[in-house]
Chain A
Amino acid sequence: MRLSVLLCTSFVFATVLALPAVGGEATTYGEGLTGSETVKLSELRADPDAYLGKTVRVEGLVLDVCPKRGCWIELAGDEEFQSIRVKVEDGVIVFPPEAKGRKAIAEGLFTKRELTEEQAVAWQKHQAEERGLEFDPSSVDGPLTIYMIMGTGAIIH
């Protein structure tokens, strides 16, 4: 009986203590920010090879969030028509859909993926399926190069 009371009290106590970490203005994901160099997306786009394999920090509006697993966010660039995906390890960091439209700062390794036309079709098909949209394979017109940040941490305001 005493053991039960002790365990129950402990769980309730822990839940109450854990609550303040849930709220707040900004939420930290993963390792947070470690002090890497902040790079504008327009600079990354202008000379991507200079940043490949380096840890970079980017800032921007969250345009989209992985609708199923929360395993990536898409950040808007400092200029129109530019965005970049920050991919994180499945289940380790989970971004919520309500992050859309908020300001985020993310850090991670800047990477490049070169897809053949076949891989590009599969990639775009997967993207459409995640959003529950129809996919037209003819919309892919050749091989695709994707620049992405393999995210280690982020702060969303």
Chain B
Amino acid sequence: MMPSVPRPPRRRRSRSWRRLLVAIHRDVGYSVAALTIVYAVSGIAVNHMHDWNPNYKLARESRRFDPVETSGRDTIVAALVERLDLPGPPVNSFRRSPEKIELFYDGWSISADAASGTAIVERPRERLLLRDFNFLHLNHAKGIWTWLADVYALALLALAVSGVVILRGPQGLAGRGKWFLLGGALVPLVILLFLRYL
């Protein structure tokens, strides 16, 4: 018969379990901090997509020129290149109507009204960092990034669970922590109740 190994006291077992939890929370927290900032900043940016373009700035410049007689597309394009002092013929062009024409250059474009002599030059510019943040957050990379984003989500889950149970005493879940936990859970529940189910 094997001699029975004495089990460590309950308090010691609990302490070593908490030590592991703290280590997981700390190291996972450090690991996902950068990506959490990326997702948070991008999240705010794309939440307001209806009010702005979170990826690009569209610089628009109004220009005036001596009206061009509406004729064939090539004639109008040649006249606009000269009158608007454009850097040579456009890569592409298209007439929307007899007097409205679009000229496309590499990375920018012009919408002109040949009859009224007005034009709008539009140049899109990527928003610094935000474009990259959104690219990752909205998973436009796809492929392996999808799996990495899943790992990140699991890491956040681990952070949430370990964060809830990590502290003991009056600051922990048994103390004031439960009220914060309840409050945090109630917010989405109330929103769901009023905006979806009632």
Contacts and interface: CB of A to CB of B under 8 A. Distances in A.
B29 to A, nearest CB: 9
B197 interface: no
B49 A18 contact: no
A22 B60 CA distance: 27
Given A63-B102, A80-B94, A3 B31 contact: yes
A46 interface: no
Interface in B15-69: 24, 27-28, 30-32, 35, 46, 49-53, 55-56, 58, 60
Q: Which of A21, A69, A101 has the most CB of B within 10 A?
A: A101
Nearest to A2: B27
Q: Which of B32, B90, B148 has the most CB of A within 10 A?
A: B148
Interface residues of A, number: 32
A101 B46 contact: no
B148 A11 contact: yes
Contacts of B152: 11
A96 B55 contact: yes
24 contacts: A3-B27, A3-B28, A4-B30, A7-B28, A7-B31, A7-B155, A14-B148, A15-B145, A17-B143, A22-B135, A70-B55, A80-B95, A81-B96, A91-B46, A94-B55, A97-B58, A97-B122, A97-B124, A98-B107, A98-B124, A100-B104, A101-B92, A101-B104, A132-B60
Given A4-B27, A15-B141, A81-B95, 20 more contacts: A3-B24, A7-B151, A14-B145, A17-B143, A18-B141, A22-B135, A63-B96, A68-B51, A68-B53, A76-B94, A80-B73, A81-B98, A91-B49, A94-B55, A97-B122, A98-B124, A100-B124, A101-B106, A101-B109, A132-B60
